Amino acid sequence: MNRLYAFIGWAIVALGALHMLTTIRLSASSPTFRVWFFGSGIAMALVGAVNLLHRAYGPAAPGLRVVCRIANVFLTLFAVVAGALSRASLVEYLVILGLLGGASILSFVPSSCRTPADAE
């Protein structure tokens, strides 16, 4: 579970970075839309980073655990709404919700976080 959680965390960071890089290709859209699109990529990358921190320090950081779970749930809900409004394809839905939903689920599974014994 720990390795799967690490993979998903890094995949969310990569997806956020790709989202930010894609902003360059949005030449036909308004500057305001590009700023919001880039900001969404930042949010994704940060939630991925919070998941990686939770994976590493979750048992020792109850506040981080709460923040991570809340961020995962809200970003997953945001992705559902954004996908519906933007008419995302089935593949896009599966990738995004697979990563964000997977991170949400794994953030509630104690075995997905490292224990102090794992760090040694």
pLDDT tens digits, one per residue of 15-32: 999 999 999 888 878 889
Q: Which two tokens stand for residue 11?
A: 């995949």
Residue 14 pLDDT > 80: yes
Residue 38 pLDDT > 60: yes
- Domain presence at residue 119: no
Residue 116, pLDDT score: 59
User: What's the number of domains the chain is made of?
Assistant: 1
Residue 70 pLDDT > 90: yes
The SS3 of residue 114 is: coil
Residue 49, pLDDT score: 97
Concatenated DSSP letters for 35-87?
A: HHHHHHHHHHHHHHHHHHHHHHHGGG-HHHHHHHHHHHHHHHHHHHHHHHHTT
When pLDDT is averaged across residues 102-108 and rounded to a whole number, the result is 94
Residue 120 pLDDT > 60: no
What residue numbers bound the domain in which 24 lies? 2-110
- Domain presence at residue 120: no
Alpha-carbon gap, residue 7 to 34, rounded angstroms: 28
pTM value? 0.88
